[in-house]
A and B are shown apart, each in its own frame.
Chain A
Amino acid sequence: MGAIIQYVQSYLSSDKTPGAAGNMFWALVYIMLVFGGLSVAVIAMNWLERKILAHMQVRLGPMRVGPHGLLQPIADAIKLLLKEDIMPAEADGFVFWMAPLIVVLAAFTVFVVVPFGTTHAITDMNIGILFMLGVSSLSVLGIVMAGWASNSHYPLMGALRSSAQMVSYEVAMGLAVVSAILMTSLNATGTGTLSMIGIVQAQQAQHEWFIFKFFPLGLIAFFIFAVAMVAETNRAPFDLAEAESELTAGFHTEYSGFRWSLFFLAEYSAMIAVSSIAVTLWLGGWLRPFPNMLNGNPWDQIFSFVPGVTFLFFAAICFYNTVRMPKHPLFRIQTIGLAGFGAVLGLIGVILFVPAVSTRIQDIFWFSAKVAGFMYLYIWYRGTFPRYRFDQLMQMGWKVLLPLGLGVLILTASVALLQQKLWHP
């Protein structure tokens, strides 16, 4: 018994991730936390997308199921689970069953190396970024299989188009990533790193987020990645493969009920995963804004209050809307529900003020806030832009982003070499 407690406690003073420290118990705990958080994030994304898109379109979005539609994702989940599971007649059963599985596995396994803090990752592989890019490219296989297994002309065309698009933009993504990795090698030993935690620590050591490094090269590389990641996840304006008003209706036409929800889950997870890559590589990962310009005691305190203040702000919005709810007996349950939700958020906000929690939660909060910013950008793009035609899409991937990525890579390498030669001869 004592040995078990000692085993559990031996990790707490470590400065490595559970995977790197070899501690299986804590690795499992972290796995459950990360995937639990991911599931909550996907559910929240569903609600947020419908509400934010609706507000951009001068309408309200779901308002009935739960106060302000907060329980809508749960209602959707229940509906999808209870739907009839249809398989097309001539479809290949095994492949039909495997396709959503592969896509979900690829989208979820990526989160093993995503760093929420210096030690807050499930593990820290020394090929972290390579692993993320590789496993997310496995989801293309699932999409191709889904299109083929439906045994119908339109899903097959949609799947082939979708996968051609994803493979093309992976090239541009890779080049942008290489530019950022190059910047990690600008240290005394001249050795860079592929590990996700190492990349953020390199940004910390160089006192500059890579998006601002060698201005405008870091910015252009970030921009290339930002565009390529939207195309990679088949979202607007690159969502021709799943749009309803086109001739081909997309690879998940024949999927219904729970299988369809797996694709949809995988799409949101992939969005969060590529956003995590962008945040880690260019936006300083878990580092708080202005760690060097505004450093020192008063600023550290102020920034440590931000998580608590954010949740209290959300709680205040909930209470304000509770007061604005119609005063009709039919609305009583919704009003109480919204007030309760606001109370929960307020409680979390208050807990986040406690120093013991606040120091541990800082990194996770800043990382999540930056990823949340990217999610808002995704929804904003969907509401604003028309759709690219497929040949224009491919043209952009190969003729615009690829040469731009190569140019940025060559320029970054040259500037880095010059800097090493001139300042550290």
Chain B
Amino acid sequence: MAPVATPFFFYLLAGIMLIGGILVITRKNPVHSALALIVTLLSQASIYLMLYAPFVAGVQIILYAGGIMVLFLFVIMLVSIERSMKERQLNSQWVAGIIAATALGGLFIAVYMKGTSILPDHALSVVEDNNTQEVAKLLYGQYMFAFEIASLLLLVAIIGAVVMAKKRI
């Protein structure tokens, strides 16, 4: 399908993502931060759509926005909020923060300066119609081992959580 008004949508979604990201770290109320994070994740899903990756966009909505953020909200709501709202907004580890931000920013600037020469030569094959099928072929074919290792990792995490939460087995 022919794309419509790409620059406008890109700048709009990128702007929403940035604003959402800034709201996440500046809000006092952790529930508001979580909501801003949800907005960021949804606009990220839309940018995936613009990159002709509908499968990743769908999975982002289901898992990230619909699953992980729900868990975030559970934890935030079960922990008392009053104490966290009285915390200072600015961190006392600002030196480490500035160093980390400079490092990351330097990395971004270096990539931008190098331009497209660090990317592979051939053009990206844009597979939009059969996107899910192509992703599946790669995931269950070439990268099968990594996929299984990742699921094993998740299994270990689940067992660990259950063991820690139960008082008696």
- Residues of A whose CB lies within 8 Å of any CB of B are 20, 22, 92, 94-95, 98, 125-127, 130-131, 133-135, 137-138, 140-141, 144-145, 147-148, 156, 160, 163-164, 167, 170, 191-192, 194
Q: Which residues of B contact A135 (CB under 8 A)?
A: 61
Q: Which residues of A contact B2 (CB under 8 A)?
A: 22
A141 near B32 with CB under 8 A, answer: no
B77 near A141 with CB under 8 A, answer: no
Q: Which residue of A lies closest to B65 (CB)?
A: A138
Please judge, given known A-B contacts A126-B129, A133-B62, A167-B67, whether A141 and B31 are in contact too, CB under 8 Å: no
- Residues of B whose CB lies within 8 Å of any CB of A are 1-2, 29, 31-32, 35, 38, 54-55, 57-59, 61-62, 65-67, 69-70, 73-74, 77-78, 128-133
Least CB distance from B132 to A in Å reads 6
Report Cα–Cα, A138/B66, bound state, in Å: 5
A-B contact count (CB 8 A): 79
Residue in contact with B131 in the complex, picked from A126, A140, A148, A170, CB distance below 8 Å? A126
Least CB distance from A327 to B in Å reads 57
Q: Which residues of A contact B67 (CB under 8 A)?
A: 137, 167
Report Cα–Cα, A122/B83, bound state, in Å: 48
A141 near B73 with CB under 8 A, answer: yes
Report Cα–Cα, A95/B27, bound state, in Å: 14
B130 near A127 with CB under 8 A, answer: no
Report Cα–Cα, A94/B62, bound state, in Å: 24
A127 near B58 with CB under 8 A, answer: yes
A130 near B58 with CB under 8 A, answer: yes
Report Cα–Cα, A147/B31, bound state, in Å: 12
Report Cα–Cα, A145/B76, bound state, in Å: 11
Please judge, given known A-B contacts A126-B132, A134-B62, A141-B66, whether A148 and B77 are in contact too, CB under 8 Å: yes
Q: A130-B62, A137-B66, A144-B70 known; 7 other A-B pairs, CB under 8 Å?
A: A126-B130, A133-B62, A138-B65, A138-B66, A141-B70, A148-B31, A163-B74
B58 near A131 with CB under 8 A, answer: yes
A144 near B74 with CB under 8 A, answer: yes
Report Cα–Cα, A144/B61, bound state, in Å: 17
Interface pairs (16), CB distance under 8 Å: A95-B32, A126-B54, A127-B57, A127-B131, A127-B132, A130-B55, A135-B61, A140-B66, A141-B66, A141-B70, A141-B73, A144-B73, A145-B73, A148-B31, A191-B130, A191-B133
- Residue of B54, B69, B128 with most partner-chain A CB within 10 A: B54
Q: Which residues of A contact B132 (CB under 8 A)?
A: 126-127, 130, 194
Q: Which residues of A contact B32 (CB under 8 A)?
A: 94-95
Report Cα–Cα, A163/B73, bound state, in Å: 11
Residue in contact with B31 in the complex, picked from A92, A131, A133, CB distance below 8 Å? A92
B77 near A160 with CB under 8 A, answer: yes
- Residue of A125, A137, A156 with most partner-chain B CB within 10 A: A137
- Residue of B77, B78, B129 with most partner-chain A CB within 10 A: B77
Q: Which residues of A contact B130 (CB under 8 A)?
A: 126, 191
Least CB distance from B59 to A in Å reads 7
